[in-house]
Structure 1
Amino acid sequence: MPYSTEYGVGESNALSSLENAEVYEPEFGEPVFVPLNELHGKLLILSKNSFFDKPRTVSETVNELREHGWIANPLDASKILAKMAFGKELRKGKQDDRSFYFVQKELLAN
């Protein structure tokens, strides 16, 4: 059965309904610098999206922020991560003089 190159009315409008399908596409847009006073909120977004389910370094965190379209100063990110660990929003671990930040998963007992 040969394929038709003509589309029905419903099919031709299908792509136009997707114009707002993705809010941010890092490969097409320029990342935005995140000021220090907004960085905590951005890190909370990463945490809620399970980024810190595995231990992460400051460098990994800065790279993930960039993937979301945000540029952060690594020193600022380090300071905020340390404050989050002090406030028990995240846990902090060390291995070979490298700090890792992660979320401690609660164990559920039946």
Structure 2
Amino acid sequence: MEVDEEETRTEMKTILKTFLIELELKYDEKFTSESNDKILRQVIPRLIEAIKLRVRLLYKQRGTLDKDNHRLHRNNRLNEKKARRVKGAKSLFDKNDEKLENYD
């Protein structure tokens, strides 16, 4: 299911308008101020609850991505390790090192 970003933003704005006035961010203060932080801690769970179906789908998609990223990261580490070994063997071969005399 494709999620339209513009539609989701509009829906979130509509939901935010229905919240109490106390939950509006204080724009004259820093975004990371203590009062805004308290407000965000109350607003974010309410937003997630309000658009739970969309968020649940995004979490499922992200879970698959996380598994793929883990696999890709693991493969990259193995490839880097192999490349380092080849580079080390090549440098020993170039130097005619004694360690390589037993290998063909």
Q: TM-score range by the shorter chain?
A: under 0.3
- Greater RCO, CA 8 A, separation 6+: 1
| Structure number with larger C-alpha Rg | 2
**Which TM-score applies when normalising by structure 1?**
0.24
More strand by share: 1
